[in-house]
Structures are given as C-alpha cells and as structure tokens.
C-alpha cells in the first residue's frame, strides 16, 4: 500500500547497509594540551653521578602545545554471513610545543589484519609498522605482529555483555637517531583483559600485561608487569565519563655506569598513570573530549623519579562512507 512506501524504503536502505562489504572511516582530531612539568629532570633535588649523590635543584617547566591527528580506517566484511572482517588503517600525528621545540614529535603508523568470527569466538591477526621523528629528525622505526583471541557473552536476561580477551605479540624497534643505537631491540608482550558492560551504560575493564625487551644496552633491557583498571559511564544522550588507572613494575637488567658507577646494578621503577575524561557529543558526527592525566614514576634511583599533570581538550570530526 502507498501508506507503507516510506517504511519499505527504510527497510531496503537498512538491508543495503547491512549487506555492505566495504566501509571507510576518516577521523580528524585537534588537541590543545598543557603540562605542569615537561622537564624530565629528577623529581627531588638530588641525583646520582658515578654512585655519588649530588645536589641538583630543578624547577618545574610548564609547557603547552597543540596536536593534530588524522586517521583512515578501511573495513571489508566477507564470508557467507559477512562475519569475518579484513581491516587496514593509516595514522598520522604531529605534536608541537610552544617553546620546547626539541620535543616536537611526529609519527606515521599503519596496520593490516583480519578478524575471524566463529560463534562468538574472534581470532585477530595483525601486522603493524610505524615511523617516529623528533624535532624533524628520524627517531624510531618499528614493525611487529600480534595475535588475539576473544569471546563474547551477551546475557540479555541480565543486561550483561562480557568479553574476555587474550593477546600476544612482538615488535622490532630500530632507533635511527644518532647515538641511540643502544635502545634498539626486540619487544615481546602479552595481555589478558576482560570487559563487562551492564545495562549498556556501565563498562568495567581490567587487564594484566607482561612485556620484555632485549636492547643493546642492559640498562635499557627490561621485564615489566602492568595492571590496568577503567570504568566508563555513558548517558542516553551520548555523554560519557571515563576513568583509567595503570600501574607498572619494571626491572631493568642494568643501569648506566655514569649514574650508579656500576653498570651491573639492577634498576627498578614503578610508573603510575591515571586519567579522567569527559566526552561531549557534538552535531554532525563530531565530539569534544576534555581530559586530565597524572603521571608519576617512582624509582630506586632518584635520577628517574618524575611527575607531571596534563590537561587537554580534543575536538574530533568523523567521516564515514
């Protein structure tokens, strides 16, 4: 009947979208940020030099800057029910500081992979590579691969969605900046995580990670354990509040001789990172995110103690086609 014409056209449109094999997404982000301590000098007023302690008072250096990011994602659905997904991405970021030009950073990152779905089980294979530059000079080239396994329980009667995930990967980091060869090496990592969403509004996340790095210099080789916790609340109008906390325990195989006087001494550190952010949806597929981040590094050698607070505001525009 003519009265159902608009309803039929809407169903046909939704069928076409569901049967679409290829989707493209382009996101553009602009960020303004402020740090209360961009100086990575010791947190207190002392340092070690060849094992001897010296007074080394340092003032905190405040800094602000801007960051621009553009990212392109390609997704291709395939299989009898389009349940598998091949995907690729290309990402460019440039971070500029107002006065500390030596800290200006830019990076390219690309990835290619496929996600196989079998009755709730998802297996993802991913290959990635990146190139970073510091102050216009090449700093790091990295490439690697990752495999992950996840499963999803959609408990509609309980309004629960549970998704555990196990991932493992390796990467080869090649530092190309002059004098940084000792930092090059292979990294291996693994992570076990679980995400629980209740009533579509509350999402809890927890993760346990382990990583190792074999560098040319023992003071840059390490083993590390990390624990992460996060919570996100999402309102019906799309506004969300997110918290995140990450704690890391690192054990380096050695220490710089000019610091401790003995390069065989083991160095330990405990970085702690926390953030709080609010996302506000804006018209025409865009949003504004305001965030505060706190970084604290405790170490058994005073030279590596550090703390910083960063405020940021990010505007993101999304294009899908």
In tens, the pLDDT along 284-307 reads: 999 999 999 999 999 999 899 999
Predicted local confidence at residue 45, as pLDDT: 83
Indicate whether this model's pTM tops 0.95: no
Q: Measuring CA to CA, which residue among 39, 35, 102, 33 is closest to residue 65?
A: 33
Label the pairing between strands 137-151 and 153-155: unpaired
Predicted local confidence at residue 92, as pLDDT: 98
Predicted local confidence at residue 277, as pLDDT: 98
Instruction: Please tell me which residue, 114 or 15, carries the higher pLDDT value.
Output: 114
Which CA distances in Å does 196 have to 46, 122, 147, 257?
Answer: 45, 17, 22, 47
pLDDT score of 6 more than 80: yes
Q: Measuring CA to CA, which residue among 92, 99, 50, 37 is closest to residue 68?
A: 92
C-beta neighbour count of 173 within 10 angstroms: 17
Q: State the average pLDDT over residues 1-7.
A: 84
Confidence tier at 125 by pLDDT (50, 70, 90) = very high
Distance from C-alpha of 110 to C-alpha of 155, rounded to nearest angstrom:
35
Give the tens place of pLDDT for each residue, 223-247: 999 999 999 999 989 999 999 999 9
Q: State the average pLDDT over residues 100-122.
A: 94
Question: Going by C-beta distance under 8 Å and a sequence separation of 6 or more, which residues neighbour residue 186?
Answer: 170, 171, 172, 173, 213, 214
Confidence tier at 212 by pLDDT (50, 70, 90) = very high
**Cα angle, residue 133 at apex, residues 129 and 138 outer, rounded to 5°:** 90
Contact 259, 271 (CB under 8 A): no
Distance from C-alpha of 134 to C-alpha of 122, rounded to nearest angstrom:
37
Question: Going by C-beta distance under 8 Å and a sequence separation of 6 or more, which residues neighbour residue 13?
Answer: none
Is residue 4 helix, strand or coil?
helix
Q: Measuring CA to CA, which residue among 239, 220, 237, 309 is closest to residue 278?
A: 239
pLDDT score of 60 more than 90: no
Contact 310, 33 (CB under 8 A): yes
Give the tens place of pLDDT for each residue, 61-91: 899 999 999 999 999 998 877 789 999 999 9
Predicted local confidence at residue 288, as pLDDT: 98
Whole-number average pLDDT of the chain: 93
Among 33-37, 181-185, 289-293, the least confident range: 181-185
Predicted local confidence at residue 219, as pLDDT: 87
Q: State the average pLDDT over residues 264-280.
A: 95
Predicted local confidence at residue 167, as pLDDT: 98
Q: Measuring CA to CA, which residue among 193, 30, 38, 20 is closest to residue 101?
A: 38
Among 80-89, 201-210, 310-319, the least confident range: 80-89
Most confident of 28-32, 77-81, 256-260, 317-321: 28-32
Predicted local confidence at residue 82, as pLDDT: 79
Distance from C-alpha of 227 to C-alpha of 248, rounded to nearest angstrom:
7
């Amino acid at each position: 009947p003519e009265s159902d014409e608009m309803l039929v056209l809407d169903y046909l449109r939704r069928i076409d979208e569901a049967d679409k094999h290829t989707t493209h997404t382009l996101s553009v982000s602009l960020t303004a940020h402020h740090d209360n301590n961009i100086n990575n000098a010791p947190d207190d007023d002392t340092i070690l030099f060849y094992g001897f302690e010296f007074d080394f008072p340092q003032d905190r250096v405040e800094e602000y800057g801007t960051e621009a990011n553009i990212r392109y994602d390609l997704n291709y659905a395939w299989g009898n029910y389009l349940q598998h997904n091949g995907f690729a991405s290309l990402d460019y970021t440039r971070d500029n500081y107002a006065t500390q030009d030596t800290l200006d950073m830019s990076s390219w990152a690309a990835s290619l992979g496929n996600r196989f779905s079998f009755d709730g089980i998802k297996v993802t294979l991913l290959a990635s590579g990146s190139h970073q530059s510091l102050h216009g000079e090449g700093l790091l080239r990295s490439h690697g691969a990752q495999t992950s396994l996840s499963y999803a329980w959609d408990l509609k009667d309980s309004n629960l969605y549970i998704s555990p995930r196990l991932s493992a990967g390796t990467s080869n980091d090649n530092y190309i900046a002059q004098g940084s060869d000792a930092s090059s090496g292979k990294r291996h990592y693994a992570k076990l995580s679980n995400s629980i969403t209740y009533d579509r509004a509350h999402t809890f996340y927890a993760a346990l990670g382990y990583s190792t790095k074999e560098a040319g210099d023992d003071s840059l080789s390490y083993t590390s354990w990390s624990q992460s916790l996060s919570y996100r609340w999402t309102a019906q109008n799309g506004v969300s509040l997110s918290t995140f906390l990450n704690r890391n325990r690192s054990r380096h195989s050695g220490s710089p001789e000019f610091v401790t006087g003995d390069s065989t001494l083991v160095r330990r550190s405990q970085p702690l990172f926390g953030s709080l952010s609010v996302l506000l949806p804006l018209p025409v597929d865009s949003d504004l995110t305001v965030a505060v981040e706190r970084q604290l590094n405790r170490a058994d050698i005073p030279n590596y103690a550090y703390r910083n607070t960063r405020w940021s505001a990010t505007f993101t525009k999304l294009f899908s086609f």
